[in-house]
Amino acid sequence: MAQTLNVNKLILRGGSSSEWAAADPVLSVRELGVDTGFSPARFKIGDGVKKWSELQWAGTLVEASATNGNIKVNGSEVTVYTLPATGTAGTYCKVTTDAQGRVTVGANLAASDIPSITLSKVSDAGTAASKNVGTSAGNVVVLDSNGKLPEGILPALAVVDVFTVTSTAEMIKLNAQKGDMAIVGSDTYILSAAPASTLNNWVKIPHPTDVVQSVNGKTGAVVLTTTDVAEGTNNLYYTQARFDTAFAQKSVKDLSDGASVVTTGDTFILNCGTP
């Protein structure tokens, strides 16, 4: 008695262009082979004799081409129309076109091609473009041949001096200017106002009082090890015994490659592959 096989899904034999090229099989008579390396996919029909590479594509695939005037027929470039040459190839700032909009003449811009415009029409010229060169108020100063500002426009600069003396009595005798500093023993003073001969014009700079006296009871060049630091309640030190205990409680699925492990509770699918 004949049996009827109900097929819900039929997947044709297929693979990428490189897979077909590597296998190069002989398809049976009327057997379809799909090359998924194309978009849309293309297929061939076997005759039982020729290899894949010897078979022609089934049907004709016509595609758009990136080359002007061409189309692609079964993956090969085919010229449909070639534009006639109307000018000299190149990059030009000024062109002349014919009635069809084709460029017939190309040339560079001449000074007469550029119209005169006012500075107010230029949106990104910056505010300096409207200023004159000079040293008066509102002018733009030009650097000298050394790339520096002229000395005549620079204000007098005060240089801070640092003096070392043995006492404040010696400090107030210094020929100092505002901003100068004096080191008196372990103390440091800065002159806040003239004259330097007035002691109250010297301001004592306070030294930091918070300094580290010791680290974990140690002084000097301190180097700590785990034996010097007590173990906390959350971040415990590593030991082999602790690792072995924690590792034994893990499932194989918790490992980094656990997803690749097949267990008795998994469903195993056997894929017969490509050409």
Q: Give me the pLDDT at residue 198, please.
A: 94
Instruction: Please tell me the distance from the alpha carbon of residue 154 to that of residue 136, in angstroms, as a whole number.
Output: 13
The C-alpha angle with vertex 36 and arms to 61 and 52, in degrees rounded to 5, equals 80
C-alpha distances in Å from residue 201, one per residue of 11, 163, 165, 196: 96, 16, 17, 7
For residue range 86-104, what is the model confidence (pLDDT) as tens digits? 677 778 888 888 887 778 8
The mean per-residue pLDDT over the stretch 153-177 comes to 86
Least confident piece of the model among 8-12, 106-110, 127-131, 267-271? 267-271
For residue range 152-163, what is the model confidence (pLDDT) as tens digits? 777 766 678 899
Instruction: Please tell me the distance from the alpha carbon of residue 130 to that of residue 118, in angstroms, as a whole number.
Output: 11
Taking phi over 0 as left and psi of -120 to 50 as alpha, with beta for the rest, 169 belongs to alpha
Q: Give me the pLDDT at residue 21, please.
A: 94
Burial annotation 20-32 (CB, 10 A radius, 16+ → b, else e): beeeeeebeeeee
Q: Give me the pLDDT at residue 61, please.
A: 73
Instruction: Please tell me the distance from the alpha carbon of residue 50 to that of residue 52, in angstroms, as a whole number.
Output: 7
| 260: confidence class by pLDDT, cuts 50, 70, 90 | confident
What's the sign of the alpha-carbon dihedral 95, 96, 100, 101?
Answer: positive
As a whole number of Å, the end-to-end CA separation of the chain is 35
Sheet holding 187-191, edge to edge: 162-165, 181-184, 187-191, 202-205
Instruction: Please tell me the distance from the alpha carbon of residue 174 to that of residue 252, in angstroms, as a whole number.
Output: 81
Instruction: Please tell me the distance from the alpha carbon of residue 95 to that of residue 248, in angstroms, as a whole number.
Output: 80
For residue range 20-50, what is the model confidence (pLDDT) as tens digits? 999 999 999 999 899 998 877 888 999 999 9
For residue range 119-149, what is the model confidence (pLDDT) as tens digits? 888 888 777 777 888 888 888 888 888 888 8
Q: Give me the pLDDT at residue 1, please.
A: 59
Q: Give me the pLDDT at residue 169, please.
A: 93
Nearest to 80 by CA among 69, 64, 65: 69
Strand partners, 35: 15, 42
Q: Give me the pLDDT at residue 23, please.
A: 94
CA atoms within 13 A on the CB side of 177: 5
Whether the Cβ atoms of residue 81 and residue 71 lie closer than 8 Å to each other: no
Q: Map residue 204 onto helix, strand or coil.
A: strand
Indicate the burial class of 189 (C-beta count within 10 angstroms; 0-12, 13-18, 19 or more): buried
Q: Is the pLDDT of residue 174 over 80?
A: yes
